[in-house]
């Protein structure tokens, strides 16, 4: 009996569905969140193998692992905040400048004197307020002023960096509050506090994005703002909150960098915006918005920091490192476009 006869004998005259091919199943896996994260894990493991093969114990030592995690912690906190903004359909080029501005404002003589009279929490609060205020300005101009995120945050990047230079007179301001340095620069069971902060921010970001109404609204706003508005979401207010959230992340990152360097300067945060956006994109968050993953962002940060560590230990120049980073970003975006086009194909 032929296949055509079988099809004619099927219920309701419909042919039985063909079983999915192996190629289709693999494509579905690679397009899923688990598949993307698996690819990131493999990429990170490959980098670790290269590190072990080229520099041996110097790479695999516990101290070097902690060095990698400490380096990842600061940009990681910013990247988690950037994940929300990009998932919501925005972009922020000012994060590096905001870190510099917050570090300078938090280490002025007036701020440090108040901290000495009261508590070092004054410095932390100042940095967070500076970051949140700048984020609020970005959000209001984008959401209510209907300006392009690229233009607004580019202007903020220039303004924040210039204001930081004016406040500090282009000089490095030494942090004298030992309480803050000892707390944020300390360790808990051998793990640096900075790494613990990054872990807490990542876990909190994952819960916020995946287990709350706020996260679902962020996905909706980034995927289709008009549909989100018709569904009753205040898109403008939500967009503003996303930029304030990223500003808070920048303020926290400024406190963390103060603990590492014991100084505030307008040069802090150089190119952080590129590193954060790259980590978010590598992690699988769509630049067009509507899909985000905090887990992927964490892996993206670790991949870039581990790559830098391997290059440094092998005494390779930074130019080659930048070329490698650029190639990784291009490949990630091409893969995103392929997955997106496959998803839109009926």
At 151-200, the pLDDT tens digits run 999 999 999 999 999 999 888 898 988 889 989 988 888 889 999 999 99
pLDDT at 233 over 70: yes
Pick from 148-152, 315-319, 339-343: least confident: 339-343
At 34 the pLDDT is: 65
Mean pLDDT: which of 1-10, 72-81, 107-116, 187-196 is highest?
A: 72-81
Alpha-carbon distances, residue 346 vs 83, 341, 342, 343 (angstroms):
29, 10, 8, 8
At 287 the pLDDT is: 86
At 23 the pLDDT is: 52
What are the structure tokens assigned to 193, written together? 């506090």
Residue from 303, 292, 291 nearest 331 by CA:
303
Q: Which residue has the higher pLDDT, 252 or 185?
A: 252
At 289 the pLDDT is: 86
At 339 the pLDDT is: 58
- CA contacts within 13 A on the Cβ side of 149: 22
| Complete domains list, the chain, with CATH | 54-337 (1.10.3470)
Find all residues with CB under 8 Å of 197, minimum gap 6, and list them: 73, 77, 184, 252, 256
Overall average pLDDT of the 242-265 stretch: 94
Overall average pLDDT of the 197-223 stretch: 95
At 140 the pLDDT is: 97
At 42 the pLDDT is: 85
At 29-64, the pLDDT tens digits run 455 566 667 878 888 888 889 888 888 888 888 889
Cα separation of 306 and 69, whole Å?
Answer: 9
Q: Which residue has the higher pLDDT, 278 or 337?
A: 278
At 279-331, the pLDDT tens digits run 998 888 988 888 889 999 999 999 989 988 888 888 877 777 778 777 777 77
Phi then psi for residue 187, to 5 deg, are -135, 155
Pairing of strands 187-188, 263-264: unpaired
pLDDT at 277 over 70: yes
Overall average pLDDT of the 253-263 stretch: 93
At 165 the pLDDT is: 93
At 95 the pLDDT is: 95
Residues 234, 61 contacting (CB under 8 angstroms): no
Cα separation of 232 and 324, whole Å?
Answer: 44
Overall average pLDDT of the 267-277 stretch: 90
Overall average pLDDT of the 205-210 stretch: 95
Helix axes 272-283, 318-344, angle to 10 degrees: 40
Share of the chain above pLDDT 90, in %: 53
Phi then psi for residue 174, to 5 deg, are -75, 135
């Amino acid at each position: 009996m032929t296949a055509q006869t079988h099809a004619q004998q099927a219920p309701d005259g419909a042919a039985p569905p063909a079983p999915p091919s192996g190629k289709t199943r693999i494509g579905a896996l690679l397009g899923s969140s688990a598949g993307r994260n698996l690819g990131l894990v493999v990429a990170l493991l490959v980098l670790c193998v290269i590190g072990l093969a080229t520099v041996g114990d110097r790479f695999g030592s516990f101290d070097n692992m902690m060095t990698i995690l400490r380096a990842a912690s600061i940009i990681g906190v910013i990247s988690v905040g950037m994940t929300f903004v990009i998932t919501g359909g925005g972009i922020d080029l000012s994060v590096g400048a905001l870190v510099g501005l917050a570090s300078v404002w938090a280490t002025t003589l007036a701020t440090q004197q108040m901290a000495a009279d009261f508590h070092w929490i004054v410095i932390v609060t100042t940095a967070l307020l500076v970051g949140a205020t700048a984020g609020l300005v970005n959000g209001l101009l984008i959401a209510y002023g209907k300006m392009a995120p690229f233009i607004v945050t580019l202007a903020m990047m220039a303004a924040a960096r210039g204001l930081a230079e004016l406040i500090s007179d282009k000089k490095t301001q030494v942090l004298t509050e030992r309480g803050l340095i000892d707390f944020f620069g300390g360790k808990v069971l051998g793990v640096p506090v900075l790494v613990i902060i990054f872990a807490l921010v990542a876990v909190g970001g994952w819960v916020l994005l995946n287990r709350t109404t706020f996260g679902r609204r962020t996905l909706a706003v980034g995927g289709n703002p008009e549909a989100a508005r018709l569904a009753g979401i205040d898109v403008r207010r939500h967009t503003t909150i996303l930029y304030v959230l990223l500003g808070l992340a920048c303020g926290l990152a400024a406190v963390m960098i103060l603990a590492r360097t014991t100084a505030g300067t307008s040069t802090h945060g150089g190119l952080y915006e590129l590193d954060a956006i790259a980590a978010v994109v590598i992690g699988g968050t769509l630049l067009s918005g509507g899909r985000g993953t905090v887990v992927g962002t964490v892996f993206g940060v670790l991949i870039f920091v581990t790559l830098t560590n391997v290059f440094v230990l092998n005494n390779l120049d930074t130019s080659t490192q930048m070329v490698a980073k650029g190639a990784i970003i291009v490949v990630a975006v091409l893969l995103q476009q392929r997955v997106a086009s496959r998803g839109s194909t009926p």
